[in-house]
Every structure is written in structure tokens, then in C-alpha cells.
Amino acid sequence: MTVRLKPRDYQLEALRWALEKKRAVVCMPTGTGKTLVAGLWIRELLSKGLARRVLVLEPTRFLVEQNARFLSRMVGLDARPLHGSLPRVERERAWKARVVVATPEIIVAEWRLFEEAGFDALVVDECHHTSGQDPFKTVVEGGRFKYRLGLTALVPPSRRREIEEAIGEIRCWPWTHPSIAKYIPEWVAEVYEAPLNPTERRLYESLEDLWSRITGRARVLVGNAIRWYVRDGAEALRESYSNSRRLQEILSPIEPLLFDEEVRPAHKLDSLRRVLADHEGFEKAIIFVDRIVIAKIIAGALRDYGVSMILGRRYVEPRDALRRAKRPATRIIVSTSAGEEGIDLPEADLVVLWSNTASPLRFVQRLGRMLRASQGEEPRQKYAVFLVTPDTVDVDSLIDGVSMAQKAGVYVNISSETIQYLINISRRRKILDVLYERPLPADMIAQALQAPIERIEAGLSWLARKGYVAYIYTWMGKVYLVQDRVEDAYKYYRDCLTPVSEASATLQAYCPGGKERAVRSASYEKALRYLKAQLEKCGVVERVRATVFYAKRGVLYSRNLSYNFAFRDERIAKLIADNIYSYPSCTNSP
């Protein structure tokens, strides 16, 4: 198989240099195609017999899956994913591939197999992780790799020597490089996780459980409490709890857990420190947070950087705050919503969104003002970093915020890869994980995840609109499946996907911008041709409406069916047609 992407000049330059060095680190800005450089590097080593097997290390399970597909489909390599969530039989199969794409954690966990594999070459994505006691470093130091290639978008100066010793010489192609600049946006978005510890996770689950058992105004208050907790921090929730008698009444069963000493006041603080260390060359950073109590905690923890706080006229006179913020000695500005309007800080080259928002307007106010180009200065790469609490509503809020902003016509420079990463650390990803095991109805997914059914239904609706999941009608109602695992539906629900000759249907497909003409009283074959034709014409079908007609015991029946999910694959078109024309025999309906 040939390479399906034409490499750019700077990618070929990086490839030749890395091959010549044998041990090298390619540093390029986000979005410049470092993975293609790695794929071509691997292909060259294998084709010339310089290496028999190659290991590619990725920091997350999602990147393992994504880059294994990329190397297979776009570069033509025998690449397989390997991570802890895969069944044992798939892991055993992956170990036999010529190119293994894995998380370092699974390599450490299956160290004997790693030693037996005999990898000659190593690719380390996000190689700035190869420091300290990180599993990346364990694998890099534990293997006998003749060829090593590191990939990164930034090299923290304090880690440069350690990275060079572990992998090889570093060469950077900056975003100002003539052949790269035209491909690079003015600013780059990144996401850092801020996970809850076990006690904090119990508090979150207790809040979610309480939310699922109450109704009315009380449920709204608990929903707010959940957002304050995972978006801002426990101290924000504690402050609201202390100031609201009604909230005290509702949360009284979990009061001991809320004030447990293991629950940190601001759980995102450790991740914020990591952001500042990774971007240690920044000139001025602004950190947006919604709650003043959290802003004060952040300012106290980072006082060594020289901190100015913008908290609104009630607390600090705006002109004085802005004057202090612009001083060269002030490297960090901590701002509440007071800094979103009327304050211009174009010299900020790092913006950290501590408190995520679903408002398109606030996206513009927070990012647009701080990341515009400075007048009369040399341009420099700027970064926007989102801190998110994985597996909580905090990630969902950020995903929804980005989607709403883009839908409203607001340019939010967050790549599709970043959105995928967000989904990977959201509760929606957990839904996908369950569905990767087998297709299930919503209530059984909720049971498997021990989550409120309302949360699961909301997550499924979002995943359907975005084209990640589909569903079919069965005797259990709607059964959901992952769209790239269509075969699972036929494996478990064959009787609901075997068309019967006595059925006919009227179908209407909806493409972006409107609905297409309907096909009426169609046979199965005609309906399938119709769906495939609309898919070919539009590229994506956003939903399908159908009325199926059938006779039972001499009585003519009809049922309206709605498939409210986006799809681009002909296999999904066939799945829908098969389900429509199987409806009379696979459900409990008359």
C-alpha cells in the first residue's frame, strides 16, 4: 500500500534529518503533521531492513487507537493498537504486529512480552513525558532500541538535557519557519486533565446519586453544586454550602464527605502547575476562573510568579489592577469574569481556562481579547489551555461550549483531534466503552455505569448527533451501538436485521441544510438504493424518518420510526434499511 498523504517540504526535511541521526527528537508545532513524519520514518526503517519491529508510545488510549489507524490506513503499515482496555485476545494479536502502538502503562504491565518482542526502533509521541518516574521513561530506558524518534510540540528548557539523553538530539522547526508558518494558526488549544482523587470521586458520585433521586428546585441546586465542584473546586462548593440554608438541608447527608480533609480545596491546582512548567518560557499568563474564593487560592499558590488579580470593581479598582497586570514583573494574572470585558492584554501568550463555560460569548471574551496579535512586536506562538476534570460534567460543558460556539459562527481554534481527546476523557467515552463490549439499550448502559439514566440518555443523544453511535429498534426498544462496530449489531440482533418480504416503507433522508425527497411505498431494495444515493449526494445524512407498513393476521399496520443520528458510512445505511424492513418480526408491536 502506498502513502496516501503527500508530505510537505518541512516534513521531508525532518524525515531525512531523523534518519541520518538515528536517535532524534523532532519538535514541531501542534497540527503540523508530526505523525506523518513518524510513519514515513517507520516505513523507511522497515522497508530497508534497518528494523524488524517498531514500538510507538502514546500518552492516551485514544491516541493509541487514532494513530494506529493513521499508520495503517494512511501510511500502509502493519500497525495495531495495544492498551489495557482491549480484551486479552486482541492484546495477544497486537503483540505480533510489526508496528505496535501502545500506552507505556500496558508495556510496563506486560513487561515480559515487551522483552520477548525484540523491538529495534522506538517512536515516543509527546516525548516531554520522558522525565522523572513517568512510565514513558521506564520503557525508553528499558528497551534496546537502535533507532529512536521523539515527537513533541514543545521542549521545556528544564527537561531538554534529560530528553536528549533518553532519546536523542533535538531539532525544532518553529512556527515561524517559512515553510510551516502558513499552516499554523495564531494560537493553539491544549487540554490538561485534572483528575479527582478517590475521596473526591466518592463525593462526586454521591452528588450525582443525590441529583438522580430528587426533583424540582432541589435538583437544580444539586446540579449547580456538581458544576461548582468539578468546574471550580471543592472550596467553591463549600462557600456556597455555608451561605445557603437550603443547600445545607439538601446536602446534609454528604456533609462529612464534603469537608473531608482528603478533598482538596482546588483540585485543578496541580494540573495548573504542570501547565506552567510545560510552558515555562511564557512571558505573561492569564488564568480565568469563575469563583473569587478559588482565584485567591490560585494567587496564593503562585505568588512566586508575581501575580495580579482582576476581581471586579467591588474588590479591586479595575485601572489599578490592569496597571499591575501590565508590569513586566507580573507574569500571571488571575481573573474572574471581570476581566472578560473591557480589558485588553494582547501581550499574554498563555491563557488558562480553569472554569469551563458553555457560553459562546464568553469563549470570545476570554480568548479573543487575550490571544490577538500585539502591535509593534515580533509575533510569537500563543497557547490556550483548558483544565478539565475527566469523567465528569466539566468535560461535557467544554465539549458543548466549543460546539455551541462553532454553531454560532464563532471561530474556536480547537482541532478535531482535541475534541476527540475531550470525548475520550468524558463520561460519554464511558458510554462508548460499554457499547464496544456489545450493543445495549440506554437503561442497561446506565446500570453498567451506575449512572443516572438522564445523564446516559443525554450522552447518547449527543453521541448520536455527532455520528459516534447509531441505534436500531428491537424487542427491548432502542438498542445503541458504536457506528464503527456495525458487525456487533448483526451478531447480537440478527432477527431485527433480517428484512421480511411482506414489509414496505416510505423513507425521508435529511441532509445538512434540509430534507431530501422521499421515496414512497418502497421495497427493501429500493429503500436501500435511496439511502445510499442520498449518502453519496450529501456526504452525510443527519437523520432518517420512515413509516413501515406490514400485515399481521389479516390486519394492516403501520409504525413511524425515527433514526436521529448522523452517519457517513454505507454500512449504517444498510443497517437502517435492514432494521426498518425487519420491524414486523423483531418487535412486540402488533
* The pLDDT value given to residue 219: 86
pLDDT score of 428 more than 90 = no
Q: Are 384 and 282 in contact (CB under 8 A)?
A: no
Q: Which residues contact 110 (CB under 8 A, 6 or more apart)?
A: 91, 95
Per the prediction, the chain carries an average pLDDT of 85
Domain with CATH 3.40.50.300 in the chain: 9-183, 185-425
* Average confidence (pLDDT) over 478-490: 92
DSSP, res 488? H
Residue 333: is it exposed, middle or buried by C-beta count within 10 angstroms (0-12/13-18/19+)? Answer: buried
Q: How confident is the model at residue 581 (pLDDT cuts 50, 70, 90)?
A: very high
CATH top class, domain 9-183: alpha beta
DSSP, res 392? S
pLDDT score of 47 more than 80 = yes
185-425 homologous superfamily: P-loop containing nucleotide triphosphate hydrolases (3.40.50.300)
Taking the C-alpha atoms of residue 423 and residue 369, their distance in angstroms, rounded to an integer, is 27
* The pLDDT value given to residue 376: 43
Strands 519-522 and 504-511: antiparallel
* Average confidence (pLDDT) over 415-431: 74
Instruction: Specify the pTM.
Output: 0.63
Q: Are 396 and 356 in contact (CB under 8 A)?
A: no
Residue spans of alpha helices (H) in 539-569:
none
Q: How do residues 296-355 score in pLDDT, each as one tens digit?
A: 999 999 999 888 888 765 666 656 767 777 788 888 989 886 544 445 555 678 889 999
* Average confidence (pLDDT) over 250-259: 94
Q: Are 477 and 439 in contact (CB under 8 A)?
A: no
Q: How confident is the model at residue 545 (pLDDT cuts 50, 70, 90)?
A: very high
C-alpha cell at 414: 480547537
CA distances 394 to 103, 339, 462, Å, are 25, 22, 15
* The pLDDT value given to residue 509: 93
* The pLDDT value given to residue 5: 77
C-alpha cell at 42: 517507520
